[in-house]
Chains A and B, each alone.
Chain A
């Protein structure tokens, strides 16, 4: 079983929609959870990170972690065509080891 599972999509939504991206994880030792955005032919870029359970908001993005159900979510409000990318979730433990989901491809249609 992979440490972090993520639906590969693709997910296609109209511009302005609310997008929900989700991951599940199996490693109870994860302390930090991250979301990355990866455009085609580029390296990932860190979007947000959260520590333990709870919500974190940054502009149109909200990251949510539910440790009781081992569920990680990223919500994008008022989605834009420029949000079209692959989104990767990740869990980290021991301050050094990272485990990534396989990524969800998002397409926001104008």
Chain B
């Protein structure tokens, strides 16, 4: 079954304690992306990756890091979480075929609800 998995699904932590949210896809997709979803603000793109070792900033990258060492995994790292990073986080992956971004094959993970106290 084609899917994007995220772990953990729920996390409560304290300010300043480094954490990593993992994202994995089993579809051999080149493009992966992280979003945060906040009430009234919708989804906002944090970082994206075009392929292994190729990452770039989205709209709200401050306070986040990512890495793409393997095609299937795209972890989101919060080095020093703060309360304003309390949010619902989604990972997404998409296929690129012959350099063209396949917009009809795009999947989101189930979400990670993060609370930073």
Contact = CB atoms under 8 A, between A and B. Distances in A.
A99 B90 contact: no
B64 interface: no
B44 A100 contact: yes
* Interface size class, chain A: 20 to 34
Interface in A58-110: 88, 90, 92, 95-103
B103 A34 contact: yes
Interface residues of B, number: 26
B26 interface: no
Contacts of B111: 41-43
B103 A100 contact: no
Given A43-B108, A45-B108, A96-B56, A103 B42 contact: yes
A92 B104 CA distance: 14
A43 B109 contact: yes
Interface string B77-114: 00000000000001010000000010110111111000
A10 interface: no
A101 B42 contact: yes
Given A32-B103, A96-B48, A44 B41 contact: no
A97 B58 contact: yes
Given A44-B108, A46-B106, A49-B103, A98 B40 contact: no
A14 interface: no
Interface in B44-82: 44-45, 48, 50, 56, 58-59
A42 B41 CA distance: 17
A44 B90 contact: yes
A41 to B, nearest CB: 8
Most buried by B among A6, A42, A100: A100
Interface of B: 4, 31, 33, 35, 40-45, 48, 50, 56, 58-59, 90, 92, 101, 103-104, 106-111
Interface of A: 4, 6, 8, 32, 34, 41-46, 49, 88, 90, 92, 95-103
Q: Which 8 A-B pairs have the closest CB atoms?
A: A43-B108, A102-B42, A100-B43, A100-B42, A49-B103, A46-B106, A44-B108, A95-B101
